[in-house]
Structure 1
Amino acid sequence: MKRIIDFIAICILFIGLSSYAQTARIKGVLLDESNKPIAKASVKANAASAISNENGFFQITVPANQKITVEITHVSFKKAVTVIELKPNEDYELNVVLNQRAEQLGEVVVSKGRKRVEGVTTIAPEVIRTIPGANAGVENILKTLPGVYSNNELSTQYAVRGGNYDENLVYVNEIEVYRPFLIRSGQQEGLSFTNTEMVQNVDFSAGGFQAKYGDKLSSVLDITYRRPTKFQAAVDASLLGGSATVDLVSKNQKWSNITGVRYRDNSLLVKSQETETNFRPTFVDVQTLINFDASTKWQWSFLGNISQNRYNYQPISRQTNFGTIDNPIALQVFYDGQEKDRYLTLFGALKSVYQVSDDFKLKFIGSAYHTQEQEHFDIEAQYALGEVDSNIGSETFGDVVYSRGVGSQLSHARNNLDALIFNAEVKGFHSSKTSEHQVEWGFKYTKEDIRDRIVEWEAIDSAGFSLPAPILDIPHDQPYTPYTGPLAPYQNVRATNFVQINRFSGYAQWNYRGEIGAGEYWINAGVRAHQWQVSGDNIVTGDSQITFSPRAQFAIKPAWEMDMLFRLSGGVYHQPPFYRELRDAAGVVQPNVKAQQSVHIVLGNDYSFKMWGRPFKLVSEAYYKHLSDVNTYTIDNVRIRYAANNDATAYVYGADFRLNGEFVPGTESWFSFGYLKTEENQDGKGYIARPTDQRLKFGLLFQDYMPNIPNLKMYLNLVYNTGLPGGSPSYADPYNYQLRLKDYRRADAGFSYVFKDTAIKSNKNWLKPFRELALGFEIFNLFNNQNAITNTWVRDVYTKSQYGIPNYMTTRTFNLKLNVRL
């Protein structure tokens, strides 16, 4: 009852009052054929007029209930004209691509605020490219949004509203993409699948999404790559690597191609960690998108990706200081051995779009994903846990002067995985110019073939006494009483799994736009179904399981002078288990693991307004989730190990706020705040914090420039998260480990001198070949905060205490960056 009362109290934040007006508003973004914003374009609508800013954005208020002729002109482009008639207080989105060849007459509308109605956050590609971060890209920006959490700057993974890393959907051009399976640490994830230089549009939904999106519990990241319209090239280089992208178009405009190559070397960041090591993780990625317009009704495209990640890791030593001022403790570790990991992924997808008629569109998508992964390591760690000399002025200040316990740990793994995933999908879209009804449907078949061998063990020796495996549950009193029981590794996981999973899924949904007096409302209702069965060698064939997920969205825009929109969305969401969710902590596949279920409710408000004569938007959402058949897990860095037994229930509730706009004229910045609480009840033992229970989150993304030197720009990316639960050893009862890590504080700053871009022109001869040229300097972890991702658990054999030693992330690091566009 208390949780329901808290949730209702949060919902009170979303009430607004206003008055009636007989005007409407047109707003949008003007782009050129290269999808770059057009500044200083003139927009006239009868007697009203406006000028687009540096981001190509314009906004204009017009009379309602009469035909308005909108005329868009610019000295470098041909004129665009359209006629619009708007209802009172209608908020019309008019996005136009101007060209240099012919005037555009009639319909030039791209969208009518659909994303606002659906509660989707849209991120501009320019923001993604310029904002600094240790792992710059789409995910770097997502981590500044409310409801999105991460405490690992070396990882592109993120958690959304109490979910984990495996609960997020990612699409590129409507094609679902996958991540490697054997993700063990932040350094081993490699590059994000998304190539920032190829992006045209990024949409993100943190919950309450429609039935057309797949079967995950937390979020949807929907990315669209651009279609080239002319030849252009881009090169980015920094101390962390570089990328090159080329756009090609045939003379008849029927063929187009965009290809990007990326290389990244994380040595600069890894060497700033506390572990001294010979480590050079390198990542190489090639992506290509080929488009072919067979006719005005039939289009084809191919998306391909090859990615290879290599890790040669030889740790040398580490010292971690922790404890308190009165009782400082240090862990000293000396290593021997190495780790060699490899990840090779191949991905290809063919997509065809056929316009059957003006009212009916069909899409066919086929894709294949193949990954070959290995984790091979033998590392011996000899450690000493002791007290630190805290006397300032002492010759041994900061050194370990008394050892509480010594020991060694030998870790071994020979893990290999080969996975092949096929998808075949057909989608239909029905709409009519004379009707406000739209119908979408789809059907998909997925075949997963996974071959997995896991051989992983760990032996621990403390003060000369080998510690028996906790799973044996043998009482002992070392070092005071000799141990005479069986010897076994402290942890030992051995399994070979050949698994096949066949899946059939489909959806149908209906969209409708209607009117309530002078106001408007939108309805989306749909349902998803998913059937799957697990089989394979040496395992019992699982039961055929099926889920149904009804979902709905309702939005209303009252006829108020204030530009406000209210949304209510939710439904029953299911997540049928993927391979990693079927494999328990012992490596055994449990074929009858059920789909996790979440009943999800989201109440939102979208308020657009002007402040200081510039556009701003405040987006607020309150949400509640009730989860059943929960598949509990533990987190080791970003490696997730599931219990695979559906023995828990859970809940999540919270609120998210995001204020964005032009705090500085001509730039977009935002401030976000989020609160959440999530707990789970395992096997009826009571509620405890889930591993992703990150209570408070503040995010700031800020852009600025010097008024007297407009070429000099500044970017700030700041994130503050309260501490996550510190985790527990994989063999231990999490109910005994409920301490939290310290708060996560991260600030990345970037300074860039722009010699030339779309807004800053130059008459210098040497700059004529360039569309854009900028040189930047970045500071990662500006304030040198010491952030921890998880704990390493060390046992003191004498006191029989278990110490959680923080695994600290990167310190302050500097980077140089060059951006060139031709």
Structure 2
Amino acid sequence: MKLKIIFNIIALFLVSSFSFSQTATLTGIVHDSKSKALHYANISVVGHSIGTTSDKKGYFELIVPASIDINIEVSYLSFETKTFLLNLNPGEVFNLEVELYEAANILPSTDIVASSDRHGTAVRLNPEISLKIPTIGGFEDMLKSLPSVSSNNELSSQYSVRGGNFDENLVFVNDIEIFRPILVRSSQQEGMSFINSDMVSGVVFSAGGFEAQYGDKMSSVLDIKYRKPSQFGGSLSASLLGTNVHVEGVSKNHLFRYNTGLRYKTTKYVLGTLDTEGNYDPQFFDFQTYCTYDVSDKLELSFLGNASSNVFNFIPEDRATSWGTLNEALKIMMYFEGQEKNKFQNTTGALTAKYKKNKNLDMKFILSSYYALEQEAFDILGQYYLNELDKQLGSDNLGDSVANIGIGSYLNHARNYLNAYVTSFKYLGNYKTGNHSILWGAQYNYETFDYSVHEWNMIDSAGYSLGSYGYSQQELIPENRDIVPLFLTDIDNMKIYSNRLNAFIQDSYLIKLDAGEFSMGGGLRFNYWSFNHEFLISPRLNMGFKPNCKRDVVFRFSTGLYHQPAFFKEIRRLDGSINRDIKAQSSYQIVAGGDYVFKAWGRPFKLVTEAYYKYMYNLIPYDIDNVRIKYYGDNLSRGYSMGFEAKINGEFVPGTESWFSVAVMQTQEDIEGDFYRQKYADGTVDTIYLDMIPRPTDQRLNFGIFFQDYIPKHETWQAYINLLFGTGLPVEKAKEPARFTAYRRIDLGISKQLLDGESQFATSRKFWSNFKSIWLSLEVFNLIDIKNEISYTYVTDIRGWQYGVPNYLTGRRFNLKLMVKF
């Protein structure tokens, strides 16, 4: 099966080298009235998802459609926007010099391209920031300091948005939906994000209230565009965490273009800071290519291919963890035998045909396939000794073990295998007439899952085993001591075959009134899944208004019904049975907000605020352990999520963009039939039924900072700080649950430019003139070495009391990184 998928990808690539649409190349320079180059000016084709930004010399290159009228819009924060009407011949290289003038009303360059875009909930981000943030995870780390996004795990590229879980986020690359590994249970196993930062040209992110054109998830959309290059170039980066190589170019006749990246990553260095010591061997590889070839002024084909292999092998040895309070200080010593071997392999291939009927009508046809081979195999025997520590202040033995209060062991076993295959055909259309932009589309998916699970846990505490509900099996002691009950048993084989159909239509238009600009968009989305024969309709509406006043403000509102049909994990109950009557999780969403663009200290800034409320029903409750989501497999709850967010970004340091963000949020659910028993001193027991309780993603306060700086008159020295703070997530399902400690992390990067390709030194030397830039960076991960909790391991002492031993994330590490662009 694996060879068949690889063969299909190769075949699609070969087919793609014979046809695609004719284009032209637009180059130019953007400067102000004093001929000063404008860095990060936005250059976009109005009505198309095509755009770029200027470099520090004001220079830009952009591939644009040929043989049709196009409007080129050039904008820069705090400057007037200019628009140019062009009609270029196929293969033509056209140079455009743009002079912009300062204006009272300003438009943010990194968030939004066109003024009409400010009326929607989506924001446009600068992809170059993803290359600057000191990160262990990957591209998605640039999102984690946004107000609507929360994450408590630096090893993972996954994130939560406004109270949703990881599975509620949509990710697209060039209109192709990206799937994540399914069986991953810890962030150490996860590997690399699909998105290759070196290949990205555009990033659009919506945290909710998004349009009907996007898919069927309840939380967010991340829409990525890979770059169509206009000249040869590339990059190389190497650090203690791995190596990335990226090459892009164009043929002499400007018909064939390629953008290819190869990545290798290992987190062995940072995993060495974990409490559990042993032989960590993570090996993550990824290859991606995006190719185009133009042959006519009507048809364009493109191919996106990806092959990745994430292997995580681990042989644990021992662990020592101290925790507790001044009144109860504890330490656990654990010794291990066995090993863990995990493999997650994925291939994706997509062939896109774009047909331009005329200047008003565009159509796309996308054929894609996704194949995943995942396996978990581990046998880990752990033995623990639980000790009390001397907590007497002034004692010579302060912090030493003074008494053993528990001893036990556990054995974890798994042989789990998954083969997943998704084939998709997608059609998209876009018609523009007057002030209207009408989009429509349809998609068919054929999905197969072949899953074999053989997993069990045995827990032995104080000389006897704990049964499946955590209670000791007294009848097995001591007569039947050869029979060992298991704490958890999951043995099953399942095969799922299903078909999905979805379609949408939407219209949006912009009206200029005496009072200001008013925009409105509405659409319907339809979905059918053969697995449960459920048919869904999702209406969505968004509005925006920019008043004609002295202050540059925009107000916006969006609402809609969002359904999320189950994919794979949601349909399986805790007892292993399959729920063929599972319903889609659904939410009504209301989002209201606005932005205000202003000047402070003579520099541009933008303040964005949003408030939202989501009523959710047919929810499938779940628990989270590390990054593993374990669903209950039934629609048992209803709930809500509400919050307020604010972000201010701008030039806190002249010529750079930084931001501060804050969010307050609450998400709760009422699970059908959930209760607990309260035992009193007199022996009586009450059964107490719960109503609304916090969901596992209930992070009440979230705060983030991304800050850039440089040494004045020595701009080749730069610094980047990424700070995250999030209050603790619930540990249990309860009215007032215990919570993890707050997630706090600061990552620092200090960079020195060793070579500027336009300097006199480089241009006067043949070898060095081949390089655009060379940077050397020192990164400090977890600058203040805070121990953040990700999960708990539960043990029992000789009195039958249970303790949660915190599992900590990574500590402080220094990383040296070399970045070369050519």
How far apart, in 2, do the equivalents of 1:153 and 1:399 lie? 32
2:157 alignment counterpart: 156
**1:239-263 Cα distance to aligned partner (Å, 9 max, x none):** 0001000112111111101110000
CA 1:54–1:722: 2 relative to 1, 3 Å: same
Correspondence for 1:418: 419
Per-residue displacement from partner, 1:501-546 (whole Å, max 9, x unpaired)? 2100000001111123140111110011100022xxxxxxxx4111
Match for 1:527 among 524, 527, 543?
524
Whether the 8 Å contact between 2:37 and 2:57 is mirrored in structure 1 is no
Alignment of 1:169-568 (within 5 A): 169-390=170-391, 397-432=398-433, 435-470=434-469, 476=474, 487-534=484-531, 543-568=532-557
- Counterpart AA for 2:497: Q
Alignment partners' CA distance in 2, 1:187 and 1:489 = 26
Distance 2:339 2:658 in 1: 44
User: Identity of paired residues, percent?
Assistant: 40
Alignment of 1:55-74 (within 5 A): 55-56=40-41
Asked if the contact 1:91/1:113 (under 8 Å) is kept, the reply is no
The 2-side partners of 1:307 and 1:546 are apart by 35
Shift of 1:56: 3.7
Shift of 1:317: 0.9
1:166 is paired with a residue whose SS is: helix
Q: For 1:783 and 1:735, how far apart are their aligned partners in 2? A: 33
| Structure 1 counterpart of 2:706 | 701
Partner of 2:740: 741
The CA deviation at 1:389 is 2.9
* Distance change >3 Å, CA 350–CA 713, structure 1 → 2: same
* Partner Cα separation in structure 1 for residue 80 and residue 193 of structure 2: 35
SS at match of 1:469: coil
Q: Encode CA deviations 1:440-490: one digit per residue, 9 max, x unaligned.
A: 10000011100001111000111111222218x7874999x9888974211
What is the match of residue 801 of structure 2? 801
Matched, 1:127 2:129: yes
Q: Is the 8 A contact 2:473 2:485 kept in 1?
A: no
- Write the distance in 2 (CA, Å) between the matches of 1:802 and 1:83: 66
Cα 1:686–1:491 shift into 2, 3 Å: same
Note the alpha carbon deviations across 1:308-337, whole angstroms, 9 max, x for none.
011110111111111101210112111110
Query: Which residue does the alignment assign to 1:620?
Result: 609
Q: Map 1:88-127 to 2 at 5 A.
A: 92=81, 102-104=94-96, 112-127=114-129
Q: Offset at 1:624?
A: 0.3
Answer yes or no: is the 8 Å Cα contact 1:555–1:567 preserved in 2.
yes
1:664 matched to 2:653:
yes
SS in 1 for 2:450: strand
Structure 2 residue corresponding to 1:575, chosen from 564, 568, 582: 564
- How far apart, CA to CA, are the structure 2 residues paired with 1:149 and 1:714? 24
Structure-2 separation of matches of 1:674 and 1:735: 24
Aligned-partner Cα distance in 2 for 1:73–1:185: 41
Aligned pair in 2 of structure 1 residues 85, 402: CA closer, same or farther (>3 Å)? closer
Cα distance in 2 for residues equivalent to 1:668 and 1:85: 19
**Is this contact kept in 2: 1:55–1:666, CA < 8 A?**
no
Would the alpha carbon gap of residues 441 and 195 (structure 1) be closer, same or farther in structure 2, given more than 3 Å must change? same
Work out the CA distance in 2 between the residues paired with 1:288 and 1:696. 40
Amino acid paired to 1:696: L
- Give the whole-Å Cα distance in 1 for the aligned partners of 2:32 and 2:92: 17
Mapped to 1, the partners of 2:268 and 2:291 lie a distance apart of 34
Separation of aligned partners in 2, 1:363 and 1:638: 35
Q: Deviations over 1:170-191 (max 9, x none)?
A: 0001110101110110011110
| 3-state secondary structure, aligned to 1:268 | helix
Q: Write the distance in 1 (CA, Å) between the matches of 2:58 and 2:182.
A: 53
Q: How does the TM-score come out when normalised to structure 1?
A: 0.86
SS of residue matched to 1:665:
coil
- Quick one: distance in 1 between partners of 2:97 and 2:59? 18
**Deviation, structure 1 residue 644:** 1.1
Distance 1:660 1:478, change over 3 A: farther
State the secondary structure of the residue aligned to 1:128.
helix
Seen in structure 2, the aligned counterparts of structure 1 residues 288 and 73 have a Cα distance that, compared at 3 Å, is closer
Q: 1:737 to 1:658 in 2, by over 3 A?
A: closer
Aligned mates of 1:676, 1:638 — CA distance in 2: 21
Equivalent in the alignment of 2:599: 610
Q: Structure 1 residue 768: deviation in Å?
A: 2.1
TM-score, normalising length from structure 2? 0.86
Contact preservation (8 Å) 1:363, 1:427: yes
Q: CA deviation at 1:77?
A: 8.7
Match of 1:683 in 2: 672
Contact 1:513 1:522 in 2 (8 A): yes
CA RMSD of aligned residues (A): 3.3
- Aligned pairs, how many? 749
Q: Is the 8 A contact 2:693 2:736 kept in 1?
A: no
Aligned to 1:821: 821
Q: State the alpha-carbon separation in 1 of the partners of residues 74 and 80 from structure 2.
A: 12
Whether contact under 8 Å (2:694, 2:735) holds in the other structure is no
Letter in 1 for 2:239: S
Q: Deviations over 1:243-296 (max 9, x none)?
A: 000112111111101110000010011111111110111100000001112212
1:451 and 1:497 in contact (8 A); partners too: yes
Structure 1 residues 96 and 644: CA distance shift in structure 2, 3 A: farther
| Counterpart in the other structure of 1:753 | 752
Quick check: 1:585 aligned with 2:570?
A: no
- Runs of at least 4 residues off by over 6 Å: 32-35, 72-86, 95-100, 392-395, 481-486, 758-761
SS at match of 1:193: coil
Q: Which amino acid aligns with 2:552?
A: D
Q: CA deviation at 1:139?
A: 0.8
Distance in 2, Cα, partners of 1:118 & 1:477: 64
C-alpha spacing 1:477/1:650, structure 2 compared with 1 (3 Å): farther
SS at match of 1:115: helix
3-state SS of paired residue (2:783):
coil
Contact map agreement 2:38 2:58 (CA 8 A) in 1: no
1:642 aligned partner? 631
Structure 2 match to 1:726: 731
Q: Which residue of 2 aligns with 1:42?
A: 31
CA distance in 2, matches of 1:252, 1:323: 69
Whole-angstrom distance in 2 between the partners of 1:306 and 1:203? 24
- Partner amino acid for 2:39? E
CA contact (8 A) 2:73 2:84 kept: no
Q: CA deviation at 1:569?
A: 0.4
Partner Cα distance (1:104, 1:383) in 2: 70
The answer to whether the Cα contact below 8 Å between 1:290 and 1:303 also exists between their aligned partners in 2 is yes
Q: Flag the 1:103–1:463 CA change in 2: closer, same or farther, 3 A.
A: closer
Q: Which residue of 1 aligns with 2:715?
A: 710
Measure the CA separation in 1 of the matches of 2:728 and 2:113: 41
Listed as ranges, the gaps of 5+ residues in structure 1 are 1-31, 59-71, 535-542, 728-733
